[in-house]
Structure 1
Amino acid sequence: MVHLSEEILYFFRKQGFTFVSTLDEDGTIHIACKDIVRITEDGQLFLLDLYMGKTYRNLKRNPALSITAADEHTFTGYCLKGKAKIVPREELAPEIINDWDQTITSRVTNRLLRNMRGEKGHHAHPEALLPKPKYMIMAEVEEVIDLTPKHLKKNV
């Protein structure tokens, strides 16, 4: 695993979701939106995956994945590449499950506040209807790619 800087940790923690890429049996890229439940400086992430769909099947076959996020306003972004495994709920530490609960609570609260201010958003609260996770994807980051254009970096 690689060390993740405070800047990278902050960037991913503030994302509403990330794009997770896996490979199917034919080597075709599959991309799905996933929420990061926890990310640590030692390069470990826990991703929420509720539906046991294509991402789940792909990772069972091939643990390679990339996790990508970008901020359209600052033109910054990162791609984290590594290996993943499926961790059943009963093997997850209680604090990871608690992080999931906190993530959902925060998202519902933010959506309520946006709705009260009349800002754009979903009229319902879909996060509140999500099932409890039966498993999570645990990823170990092996490589970090900074997607920020070189001419926009502060220390170039």
Structure 2
Amino acid sequence: MTKLSNEVVEFFRRQPFTIVSSLDKRGIPHNSCKGVVKINRNGAIYLLDLYKARTFENLKRNPRISITAVNEHSFEGYCLKGKAKIITGKGIKMPVLRDWEARITNRITQRIIKNLQGEKGHSRHPEALFPKPEYLILMKVSEVIDLTPQHLRKEA
């Protein structure tokens, strides 16, 4: 497992969602939006998936996964590559579920604030209609790719 810098960890913590890529049975990438519930400097990332659909089936067959997030405003982003483990049922610990609930509450709050400020958005708060998570994806990062153009990267 690859250690993650504080910069990468904080970047992913600030993202409302990420793009998760898995491989289907023909080896063709499948992309879906998922929220990061928890990310650690040791390279462990926890994502809750609400729907046992393509990502679930793909990861059962092939654990290779990547997570990508970008910030258009700051023109930076990262792609994290690694292997996933599916955790179901009682393997999903209560602290992870509480972290997920806190993130969902924050997303709803931010949407309400934006709506009150006059920004157009979804009026029905789709997050409030999410089903209870049925499984957890635990990703162990093996590679970090900085998507920020070289000439715009912050000096170390």
Q: TM-score range by the shorter chain?
A: over 0.9
TM-score (norm 1): 0.96
TM-score (norm 2): 0.96
Amino acid at match of 1:153: R
CA distance in 2, matches of 1:154, 1:104: 31
CA distance in 1, matches of 2:132, 2:82: 26
Amino acid at match of 2:78: Y
Matched residue, 1:79: 79
Conservation of the 8 A alpha-carbon contact between 1:89 and 1:133: no
**Alpha-carbon shift at residue 137 of structure 1 (Å):** 0.8
CA distance in 1, matches of 2:51, 2:119: 30
Matched residue, 2:129: 129
**Alpha-carbon shift at residue 28 of structure 1 (Å):** 0.6
Is structure 2 residue 101 aligned with structure 1 residue 101? yes
Conservation of the 8 A alpha-carbon contact between 1:66 and 1:80: yes
Runs of 4+ aligned residues of structure 1 deviating over 2 Å after TM superposition are none
**Alpha-carbon shift at residue 92 of structure 1 (Å):** 1.6
Matched residue, 1:49: 49
Amino acid at match of 1:50: L
**Alpha-carbon shift at residue 57 of structure 1 (Å):** 0.3
| CA distance 1:52–1:36, change in 2 (3 Å) | same
Unaligned ranges ≥5, structure 1:
none
Q: Please, what is the CA RMSD of the aligned residues? A: 1.1
Is structure 2 residue 148 aligned with structure 1 residue 114? no
Amino acid at match of 1:27: G
Matched residue, 2:39: 39
Identity score, percent: 54
**Alpha-carbon shift at residue 123 of structure 1 (Å):** 1.0
Matched residue, 1:69: 69
CA distance in 2, matches of 1:119, 1:9: 29
